[in-house]
Amino acid sequence: MELEPHRRELVVFCYRMTGSFQESEDLVQETLLRAWKARDRYDPARASVRTWLYRIATNVCLTALEGRERRPLPSGLGVPSDDPGAPLVPAPDIPWLEPLPDARFDVEARADLRLAWVAAVQHLPARQRAVLVLREVLAFSAAEVAGQLGTTVAAVNSALQRARAALAGVGDAGQVCEPDDPEVRAVVQRYVRAFEAADVTALVRLLAEDAVLEMPPVPLWYRGSRDYGLFLERVFRMRGTGWGVRHLTANGQPALAAYAPESGGGLLLHTLQVFTVARGRVTHNVVFADPRVLEGFGLPRRISA
């Protein structure tokens, strides 16, 4: 029985369920271990190996999520800050939503991997979340999902209807362009050139008027191009100019790794920035600073200037 070829898609499934890339890898390891131990009880007449594995993975995720707080982004916790000079105090006790490194999983850009979508899904009860992902994203039938969850088709259909209603319009996916869209690439390239030049005026011109900037694990966030620009001015005053950038994608969105200048020369990995671009403007930038998140992307710690 071949189990390993299913690992990557199972990690992505567990990520959608939990909002944590690191935890998802552990949950898939547990899933494959349980499957291997139960291999003698597998009946190919009842389900394919893939369907059987998803049943195990779903139950592993549901167990892990029992009594667990949802993983939010800062914008999901309260109103935006109106002070671009507010202290940047991390909140390590909050289980923050994590990004997914596309390059490690050959994931095509899809609306159901967007950070906004994954963050919204975290509000759903765990079983409702499972129904939504299994039915809407993975296209299992209602009967298959009922079997995976040990429930009825009617219960699955009811849970799906409630989940759809809760997520209606989340992330404005219809207006969000893919990372390889020429207009998106052009916007991100201009953003990078302005960022590397510490040209805040040029950066602000690339922003939507109500652009959002947030920085987990710091719980504060900003809305509006004015405060976004004032905060960037603060960053360049604090960390200096002459930053470096590496392009990548995360959650099917354009992203960049930002490297800050060091006093002795060279550039040190500082943050991962994940963009939403719509209508030719940057509408959202989620800036991840947790070293454990950065490790998941396999980025070099230092690069030359």
Name the architecture of domain 175-303: Roll (3.10)
User: SS3 sequence, 67-88?
Assistant: CCCCCCCHHHCCCCCCCCCCCC
For the chain, the structural domain boundaries read: 4-172, 175-303
> What is the residue-averaged pLDDT of the chain?
93
Residues 6+ apart with CB under 8 A from 163: 124, 128, 129, 131, 132, 136
CATH number (1.10.357.10, 1.20.1250.20, 1.10.10.10, 3.40.50.11900) of 4-172 reads 1.10.10.10
Residue 274 has pLDDT above 90, yes or no: yes
Query: pLDDT tens-digit profile of 100-126?
Result: 999 887 666 577 899 999 999 999 999
Residue 179 has pLDDT above 90, yes or no: no
DSSP letter, residue 104: G
Beta strand 281-288 with 207-215 is parallel
Contact between 184 and 177 (Cβ < 8 Å): yes
Contact between 260 and 243 (Cβ < 8 Å): yes
Note the pTM of the prediction, 2 decimals. 0.93
Report, as an integer, the average pLDDT of 135-158: 95
